[in-house]
């Protein structure tokens, strides 16, 4: 990742189709668009690749999460269980609907811990939203069993893990709804964009309407369409979708490159005593966009992160101190820094969040380093990078 490293003739041709027609909006203007419907084409390709009945494209991954939750019936006062390690969009989408994000511990998968999820369920819980972080997945089978037992929705945030699988099913297709981001730094990109997939026709129809101001899209006269319910504008543009049409055709090519690069780097670290790899569920196949490993202690992880940067090895992240991805830096959430007032229910539920700690999550995140896998590297560059990382880590561990 990311897919922009591989932009070429396919992407340019798809964008040129849109520019030639002059129609940048995904709906209407039927006579002008020369038969090109890029958003629709991307949806068909996404559903086919993910083996689901339906797909809906939207303006971002955040929009995909918001639309998915709303389309499945999540609303004001409902609780949605999310992990302590995620992107801020996870709780933003929940709060946008007046629902309540419930932060819950992760485990060595770096994703939701099923045991912690079971303990977090209350009478107001409506959904569990595992986030498949850094290219790999939560252990979905026990999470689904919990959801089935408590009659809860399972909403997969697969924004960082497109192309991975669990029990042979593409990530995003295991739960009730799955969500993807196609932003500029994802494995496949539209520049800005997102999508959701589902086998549930009602959820799909809701998403189709909700993401376009509630339009029912019946007939060929947009001005005459009815509005079965309120909606908002989460539409993707034809220009963005056009880039996605080209990129999704290349997804499996990108995955093969990432897997090859990952294998070289992982082999470089294989003999280092004290380095352990992130747990991948037994039936899971990651998309190989990140190499994630643990050091023996937080102090060593911090030292290694600084040493890797000093050695000129970019793209290695220490998420424990990152203000986008880990709960410890989410003061805007824990202190409810909003432009407007929030509902009493949300205020009450989140009032004690600033005092909560998650030592089980800290145990894993404090020792974790996460190294980006780039598509544009040559095999020689990957091998050199692996050797550099190994030497830096060996020095850090040897000095301990």
Catalytic residue among 144, 186, 349, 390: 186
Indicate if the pLDDT at residue 1 is higher than 90: no
Per the annotation, the verdict on 306 as an active-site residue is no
> Candidates 3.40.50.2300, 1.10.3720.10, 3.90.1150.10, 3.10.129.10; correct CATH number of 252-398?
3.90.1150.10
Place of tokens 């297709």: 173
Q: pLDDT tens digit string along 350-373?
A: 999 999 999 999 999 999 999 999
* Mean pLDDT on 48-62: 98
Q: What is the CA radius of gyration of the chain?
A: 21
Give percent above pLDDT 70 in the chain: 100
pTM above 0.75, yes or no: yes
Which sequence spans correspond to the domains of the chain? 3-250, 252-398
Smallest CA-to-CA distance from 199 within 52, 44, 42 is with 52
DSSP string, 286-328: ---SEEEEE-SSHHHHHHHHHHHHHTT--SEE-GGG-TTTBGG
> For residues 214-245, b (16+ Cβ closer than 10 Å) or e, as one string?
bbeeeeeeeeebeeeeebeebbbbbbbbbbbb
The CATH architecture annotation of domain 3-250 reads 3-Layer(aba) Sandwich (3.40)
| Reported confidence tier of residue 271, pLDDT bands at 50, 70, 90 | confident
pLDDT digits (tens, 9 = 90+) for 235-258: 999 999 999 999 999 999 999 999
């Amino acid at each position: 990742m990311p897919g922009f490293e591989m932009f070429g003739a396919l992407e340019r041709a798809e964008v040129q189709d849109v520019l030639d027609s002059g129609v940048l909006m995904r709906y209407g203007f039927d006579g002008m668009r020369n038969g090109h419907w890029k958003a629709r084409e991307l949806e068909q390709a996404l559903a086919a690749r993910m083996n689901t009945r339906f797909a809906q494209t939207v303006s971002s991954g955040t929009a995909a999460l918001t639309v998915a939750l709303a389309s499945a019936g999540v609303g004001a006062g409902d609780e949605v269980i999310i992990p302590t390690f995620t992107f801020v969009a996870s709780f933003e989408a929940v709060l946008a609907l007046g629902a309540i994000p419930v932060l819950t511990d992760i485990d060595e998968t770096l994703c939701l811990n099923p045991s912690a999820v079971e303990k977090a369920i209350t009478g107001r819980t409506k959904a569990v939203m595992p986030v498949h972080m850094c290219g790999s997945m939560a252990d979905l089978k026990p999470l689904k069993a919990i959801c089935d037992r408590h009659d809860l929705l399972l909403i997969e945030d697969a924004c960082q893990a497109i192309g991975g699988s669990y029990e042979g099913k593409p990530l995003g297709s295991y739960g009730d709804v799955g969500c993807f981001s196609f932003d500029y730094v994802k494995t496949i990109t539209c520049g800005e964009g997102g999508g959701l997939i589902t086998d549930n026709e009602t959820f799909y129809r809701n998403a189709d309407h909700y993401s376009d101001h509630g339009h029912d899209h019946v007939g060929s006269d947009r001005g005459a369409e009815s509005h079965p319910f309120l909606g908002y504008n989460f539409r993707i543009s034809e220009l963005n979708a056009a880039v996605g049409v080209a990129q999704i055709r290349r997804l499996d090519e990108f995955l093969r490159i990432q897997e090859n690069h990952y294998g070289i780097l992982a082999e470089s670290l294989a003999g280092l005593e004290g380095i352990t790899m992130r747990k991948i569920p037994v039936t899971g196949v990651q998309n190989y966009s990140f190499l994630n490993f643990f050091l023996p202690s937080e102090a060593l992880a911090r030292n290694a992160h600084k040493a890797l940067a000093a050695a000129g090895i970019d793209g290695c992240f220490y998420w424990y101190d990152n203000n986008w991805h880990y709960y410890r830096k989410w003061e805007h959430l824990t202190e409810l820094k909003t432009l407007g007032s929030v509902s009493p229910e949300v205020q009450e539920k989140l009032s004690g969040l600033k005092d909560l700690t998650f030592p089980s999550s800290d145990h894993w995140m404090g020792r974790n380093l996460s190294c980006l896998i780039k598509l544009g590297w040559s095999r020689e560059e990957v091998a050199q990078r692996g050797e550099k990382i190994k030497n830096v880590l060996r020095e850090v561990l040897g000095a301990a």
